[in-house]
Structure 1
Amino acid sequence: MRRLAAALLAGAVAVLACTAASAAPADEKGDDDSIRSQEYWLDEYGITKAWETTQGKGVKIAVIDTGVGHAPELDPAVVGGTDVSGAGTSDGRTPVGTLDANHGSWVASLAAARNHGDKEAMIGVAPKADILSISIGFPDASPPVPFTEQVVKAMHWAVDHGAKVINLSFTTNTLDWDESWDDAFLYAYQHDVVVVVAAGNRGSGTGVVGAPATIPGVLTVAGVTPDEKASRDASTQGITIGVSAPSERLLGVSADGEVVFWEGTSGAAPIVSGIVALVRAAHPNLDAENVIERVTKTARRAPGMTQVPSSLYGYGLVDAAAAVADTVPLVSGNSPTHQLEEWIRLYRRAPVQASQSPAPTEKAVEVPPLPRADRVSTPVSPLLPDRDRVLYGSIPLMAVTVPAILVLLGVTVAARRLRSARPPGASRRKNL
C-alpha cells in the first residue's frame, strides 16, 4: 500500500485553497493506516448511504483547475479535457504551475476518484461520475493567457462538452468580477449546469467570500473541521454561502499517484460537486435550480448553528443521503439564470441594443418656418440725432416750445405798452 503524505494547505492567489504536500513517516499515521479509513466524510455526510441509490454514473463534472494528472484512481474517471492557459497540454492532463501543480488532481480525486480494485485505495464522492479536466494557470505558472479570459474559455468548453457540474476551487479575494464572466456564467446556467465554488480560506487571506463565490446562482461551499465546526483557517464567511462540507484533514491523489492530506475549501467544494453529481444521476429530470434546492434544503444544522442561512455554514452541513432520497418540493422562478440576469439588469450599465432604438416615423413631420429675425441696426452714439429722435422728439418739442415763447413775448410787449400809456404823476396822486 502506498504511503500517506501529510500537508496543511492554506490557499494561494486568484487564489487556490491549498499549496503543497510533504511526506509523513508511516509510524505517524496511527494503528489504522488504510487510506479508505481516513475518508471520514463518506459515512458522516451520508455519502455511502447515497451510494445505495446512485454513484453518479453518466454525470460529467468539469474540474477547472491546474489539470488532472495520471493516477490509477484518476485515469478511468477522466473522459476529456483541454488547456485554456497556454501553458499546459491539449488534453488538460499536464499539471500547470509549480506550487499548485497537484491541486487539480486533489480536487478531482475528492469528487470522483475510481475504485480500481484496491478496496483500501481512495475513492471519490461520485465514483462513477466522469471528469472533464480543464487546465488553467494561476500566477505561479505565469500563463500567457489572462486569468479572466481563461475562466471564460473554460466555462464555455465545459458546457459545450456536456458538463452538468462545474467545480471552481479558487477565489479572487474581491467581491467584484470582470464583466466577461457575466456571459460565461450565464452560458452555463442557460445550459442547466450547476456551478460549485469554494468560499475561500482565512489562512490564505480571504476574510469574506470573493468572486466567483459572489456571482449570483453559484453554489458556494464553506468548510468545517472533522468535529463539524466552522474552520478558522480552512474556510471563511459570507452571505452567499450555500452549504458547508469538510475542509480539514482531507485526502487527495497527487498527479504522480501519491495520496496526501490537505485542507481548504478547495476540498470542500469537490465533495459537494460529487454530491451534486449523485443528485443529478438520481433525479435526471431536475433542473439546476431544483438540484441546488435539494442540496441546500436537506442540509443539517451544524452544532451551535442558530440561524438559517448562516454566514458561516449557509444552510448547514451537506447531507448526501437526504439530498438524494428525501422529498423536496419543486421550486421555480429563482433559477441561477434568473438571479444573474436580474443582477446584471440592476448593476450593469449595458449599452442600448439596436432593437431598443425608437423606430423612425412613416412620414416626415413638417415644421413651420420660424419668423424672420429683426434686422440688426448699427449702433450709434446717443449724442447724435437720428430719424426717430428728430421725428418723435425734436419736432414735437419745437411745436410746443416756439408758440409758448411767442405768447410770452406778446404778453411782455403788451404789459410794457400799458405802462407807458398811463398819465404822468397818476401813481403819485393815488398815494397822497
Structure 2
Amino acid sequence: MRARRLHTRFFAALGVLTVSFTLFAATPSPAPTIPDKPSDPTRAQEYWLDGARIREAWKTTRGAGVTIAVIDTGIARGPAAFAGAVTDGTDVSGNGSADGRTPLGPIDSDHGSRVASLAAGRGAPDGTGMIGVAPEANLLSISLGFGASATVPFTTQVAEAIIWAVDNGADVINLSFTMNTLGWDPSWDKAFLHAFENDVVVVVAAGNRGSGTTVVGAPATIPGVLTVGGVDQHGTASQSASTQGITIAVSAPSEGLLGVTAAGTVERWNGTSGAAPIVSGIVALVRAAHPDMDAANVINRVISTARPAPAATSVPDPLYGFGLVDAAAAVSAEVPTVEENPLGSLAEWVHLHRRAPSEPVPVPTSAPVALPPVPQADQPTKADSPLIPTLETLTYGTLPLLALTAAGILIALGVTAAARRIRLARDRRTSAQ
C-alpha cells in the first residue's frame, strides 16, 4: 500500500496524465481458501456478511496487504480474533500501554476491541466464531482516553493519533466516535490533511440518537471523510442507533451487531460505532482488490455502488447518504474514475474558513528618487508681551491715532463755540425788538 501511495504522488507531482484501468472489474489473484461456515451459530448472526454482500466480495479478496488503524479505546491482547492481526500500536492518552493494547475507559473499555473485530477479526481456523469484514487485513491499535480521566486533551489525542497512524502505514483509519458539535479544533486540520495528502481513507461514525446525537458532529462533518449512517436488519434508518445529516455518505448495519470483547467473548451491541468498521472493512477489500487506486476513487467506488435505500427520498439522503453499502459491487463493479474526492476537500475548506496567512511586505522595484534638501526654517524671534507697545505700533498706530483724536476735539470745540455765538446774537435781536 505504501508503494501505491508513492506511485500516485510521483505521477501527480510530474503532472503526467495517467490512464486508469479501474473502469473494469478487478481481477486479482484468487484469494486463498479460508474456512467459512455460514451455519455456525455465531456466523449465522452476522447477517451483514450476506446482507452487504461481503461473502460475495470474499471471492475476490479478504483484505490482505491493507492496514486499518483503529483509533479507539485500544484493541485487547488476549482474544484469538486478533491473533496475528495487530501489527503495531501506540497510546496517545498518557494512560495506556506503549503498544496501545491496554483497553482504556471506566465505562466501555471493550469498545475498541468490538470495533476491531467487526473490521478485521480473524475468526477461528475451523471457520467458526465471529469474523470481520476484512479478516486478512492488518490492524493498528491506537488507544485514546475518553472523558475527564484523560491526562491529555481529547482533541490533541485525536490529532496525534491520526498523524501516527498515517506515518505508520495505515491505508484506512476508523473513527467510531463523535464530538456532538459541528465544528472541530483547528489542530485537526493539519492531522486530517496529513491523512488525505498521504492517500488514506478516513471512515467516521455518524453518531447515535440514543446517545443524544440528533445531527452528525465532528469528525463526521470534516470534508473528505467517509461518514457512515446506521440501518436495521431491513435497511431502514435506525431510530436510536444512528442520526442524520447531509454529510452521511453511506449506510451500514448498526443494530443487532456482534463484537469481541477484551475478554474474548462475543456480545451484542448497537450503534454507528459498529457500522463504521463494517465500512472500513469494505474499504480495505477495495484497496486490496485495487492496490493502485487512490483514496478518492476508493471512496467513489463505495458510494457509487451503494444500493438505493427503499425509504430514501433523495440521493444523497440525510439519513442514508448515497445508499446501503454493497461490498461485492464496490470491489468488482465498473466505476468511472474521478479526479478528486467526491465528499469534498478539507484543503479548500481550510482556505475559505480559517484565517489566511498575511500578505508579504512588498519590495520596491525601482530606486528612490533624490530630492533637493529642504531649506532650513527661520529662527523664531523672542516672544514679546502683546500689552507693551513697540516702535512700529507707536509710529503707525498710537501717534496717528492721538493726532486724529486731538484734531477732532479741536474741531468739535470750534463748532460748539460758533454755535453759541450765533445763538447769543439771535437772542439780542429778539430782545431789541
Q: TM-score, normalised by structure 1?
A: 0.81
Q: Distance in 2 between matches of 1:209 and 1:219?
A: 12
The aligned counterpart of 1:340 is 346
TM-superposed CA distance for 1:328, in Å, is 1.9
Q: Of residues 91, 98, 115 in structure 2, which corresponds to 1:90?
A: 98
In structure 1, give the amino acid aligned to 2:213: T
Structure 2 runs not aligned, ≥5 long: 1-38
DSSP 3-state at the match of 1:42: helix
Is the contact made by 2:69 and 2:142 (CA closer than 8 Å) also made in structure 1?
Answer: yes
TM-superposed CA distance for 1:427, in Å, is 6.8
Q: Distance in 2 between matches of 1:363 and 1:210?
A: 56
Q: Distance in 2 between matches of 1:324 and 1:108?
A: 21
In structure 2, give the amino acid aligned to 1:104: G
The aligned counterpart of 2:209 is 202
Alignment of 1:316-331 (within 5 A): 316-331=323-338
The aligned counterpart of 1:255 is 262
DSSP 3-state at the match of 2:345: helix
The aligned counterpart of 1:175 is 182
TM-superposed CA distance for 1:415, in Å, is 5.8
Over 3 Å counting, the alpha-carbon distance change for 1:255 and 1:409 in structure 2 is same
The aligned counterpart of 2:113 is 105
TM-superposed CA distance for 1:312, in Å, is 0.7
Alignment of 1:52-63 (within 5 A): 52-63=59-70
The aligned counterpart of 1:128 is 136
Q: Of residues 279, 286, 305 in structure 1, which corresponds to 2:293?
A: 286
Deviations 1:386-412 (A, max 9, x none): 658767765564454444444444445
Alignment of 1:258-269 (within 5 A): 258-269=265-276
Over 3 Å counting, the alpha-carbon distance change for 1:262 and 1:425 in structure 2 is closer
Segment drifting more, 338-347 vs 203-212: 338-347
DSSP 3-state at the match of 1:230: coil
TM-superposed CA distance for 1:199, in Å, is 0.6
TM-superposed CA distance for 1:39, in Å, is 0.9
The aligned counterpart of 2:235 is 228
Segment drifting more, 93-102 vs 310-319: 93-102
DSSP 3-state at the match of 2:156: helix
Residue 278 (structure 2) pairs with residue 271 (structure 1): yes
DSSP 3-state at the match of 1:167: strand
TM-superposed CA distance for 1:116, in Å, is 3.4
Q: TM-score, normalised by structure 2?
A: 0.81
Over 3 Å counting, the alpha-carbon distance change for 1:259 and 1:370 in structure 2 is farther
Q: Distance in 1 between matches of 2:264 and 2:362?
A: 63
The aligned counterpart of 2:225 is 218
Q: Distance in 2 between matches of 1:340 and 1:213?
A: 12
The aligned counterpart of 1:10 is none
Residue 300 (structure 2) pairs with residue 296 (structure 1): no
The aligned counterpart of 1:185 is 192
Q: Distance in 2 between matches of 1:237 and 1:295?
A: 19
Is the contact made by 1:221 and 1:243 (CA closer than 8 Å) also made in structure 2?
Answer: yes
Over 3 Å counting, the alpha-carbon distance change for 1:131 and 1:424 in structure 2 is closer
The aligned counterpart of 1:28 is none
TM-superposed CA distance for 1:426, in Å, is 6.4
DSSP 3-state at the match of 1:183: helix
Is the contact made by 2:203 and 2:227 (CA closer than 8 Å) also made in structure 1?
Answer: yes
Is the contact made by 1:300 and 1:319 (CA closer than 8 Å) also made in structure 2?
Answer: yes
Q: Distance in 2 between matches of 1:137 and 1:101?
A: 10
Q: Distance in 2 between matches of 1:380 and 1:226?
A: 104
Deviations 1:171-197 (A, max 9, x none): 111112221111111111111111100
In structure 2, give the amino acid aligned to 1:38: Q
Segment drifting more, 112-121 vs 308-317: 112-121
Alignment of 1:351-390 (within 5 A): 352=358, 356-359=360-363
The aligned counterpart of 1:45 is 52
The aligned counterpart of 2:19 is none
TM-superposed CA distance for 1:62, in Å, is 0.1
Is the contact made by 2:297 and 2:341 (CA closer than 8 Å) also made in structure 1?
Answer: no
Over 3 Å counting, the alpha-carbon distance change for 1:391 and 1:138 in structure 2 is farther
Is the contact made by 1:288 and 1:335 (CA closer than 8 Å) also made in structure 2?
Answer: no
Q: Distance in 1 between matches of 2:184 and 2:375?
A: 54
In structure 2, give the amino acid aligned to 1:318: V
DSSP 3-state at the match of 1:139: coil
The aligned counterpart of 1:13 is none
Q: Of residues 158, 162, 167 in structure 2, which corresponds to 1:160?
A: 167
In structure 2, give the amino acid aligned to 1:275: I
Over 3 Å counting, the alpha-carbon distance change for 1:423 and 1:400 in structure 2 is closer
DSSP 3-state at the match of 1:63: strand
In structure 1, give the amino acid aligned to 2:83: D
DSSP 3-state at the match of 1:272: helix
Q: Distance in 2 between matches of 1:351 and 1:125?
A: 44
TM-superposed CA distance for 1:147, in Å, is 1.4
The aligned counterpart of 1:14 is none
The aligned counterpart of 1:17 is none
The aligned counterpart of 2:3 is none
Q: Distance in 1 between matches of 2:258 and 2:346?
A: 34
Over 3 Å counting, the alpha-carbon distance change for 1:232 and 1:423 in structure 2 is closer
Q: Distance in 2 between matches of 1:147 and 1:423?
A: 123
Q: Distance in 1 between matches of 2:246 and 2:235?
A: 19
Over 3 Å counting, the alpha-carbon distance change for 1:317 and 1:390 in structure 2 is farther
In structure 2, give the amino acid aligned to 1:108: A
Q: Distance in 1 between matches of 2:298 and 2:170?
A: 15
TM-superposed CA distance for 1:369, in Å, is 6.2
The aligned counterpart of 1:241 is 248
Deviations 1:59-81 (A, max 9, x none): 10000011111212212211111
The aligned counterpart of 2:124 is 116
Q: Of residues 113, 126, 146 in structure 2, which corresponds to 1:138?
A: 146
In structure 1, give the amino acid aligned to 2:287: R
Q: Distance in 2 between matches of 1:144 and 1:177?
A: 20
DSSP 3-state at the match of 2:139: strand
Q: Distance in 2 between matches of 1:157 and 1:171?
A: 20
State, as a whole percentage, how many aligned pairs show the same letter: 60
